[in-house]
């Protein structure tokens, strides 16, 4: 009798375990399907992002090409050039510094701002005196 009750107990435990296994397998299948679905969504979003990035880069390049001619029209120094001693075209501002350096090779060239600072100080002090009177 005790043997039959133990056998029945084990059969019930076995049935419960089989049900648990079946439930867990179903859960695993659902989770695998979810993972697959999310992976596909992520890949799709990644492709959309790459496509949008490439499109943006193309639009930026097109806009830069459109604005280049208008920038050239606004900047007259960019197109104007002079020829240096060897016959190559040199922009005017570069040619001006080259000729200045050539006239005085021993004396280092001072930036234009340093020359203007003492004048600005003088005019500033004169303006202060004039305003105080």
Tens digit of pLDDT for each residue in 16-29? 999 999 999 999 99
**76 within some domain:** no
Total domains, the chain? 1
pLDDT band at residue 100 using 50, 70 and 90 as cut-offs = very low
Please check whether residue 89 is in contact with residue 83, taking contact to mean a CB–CB distance below 8 angstroms. yes
Residue 78 included in any domain = no
- Give residue 2's pLDDT band: very low, low, confident or very high (50, 70, 90): confident
Instruction: Give the model's pLDDT for residue 101.
Output: 46
Closest CA to 99 of 114, 78, 91: 91
Confidence of residue 78 (pLDDT cuts 50, 70, 90): low
Percentage of the chain beyond pLDDT 90 is 44
| Lowest-confidence region among 15-19, 42-46, 99-103 | 99-103
Is 6 domain-assigned?
A: yes
In this structure, are residues 90 and 81 in contact, taking their beta carbons and an 8 Å threshold? yes
The predicted structure's pLDDT at residue 94: 52
Q: Residue 48 sits in which domain range?
A: 2-67
Distance CA 84, CA 67 (A): 30
Copy the structure tokens of residue 31: 């989770």
Q: What is the dihedral of CA 79, 82, 86, 87, to 10 degrees?
A: 70
Q: Is residue 57 a contact partner of residue 68, using CB atoms and an 8 Å limit?
A: no
pLDDT of 125: 64
Tokens coding 85 = 């001693």
pLDDT in the model for residue 4: 85
For residue 92, being part of any structural domain is answered with no
């Amino acid at each position: 009798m005790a043997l039959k009750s133990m056998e029945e107990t084990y059969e019930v435990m076995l049935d419960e375990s089989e049900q648990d296994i079946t439930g867990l397998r179903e859960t695993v299948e659902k989770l695998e399907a979810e993972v697959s679905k999310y992976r596909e969504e992520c890949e799709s979003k990644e492709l959309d992002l790459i496509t949008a990035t490439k499109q943006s880069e193309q639009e930026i390049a097109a806009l830069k090409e459109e604005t280049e001619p208008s920038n050239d029209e606004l900047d007259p120094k960019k197109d104007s050039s002079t020829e240096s001693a060897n016959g190559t075209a040199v922009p005017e501002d570069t040619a001006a510094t080259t000729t200045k350096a050539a006239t005085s090779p021993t004396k280092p060239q001072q930036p234009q701002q340093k020359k203007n600072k003492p004048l600005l100080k003088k005019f500033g002090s004169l303006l202060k005196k004039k305003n105080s009177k």
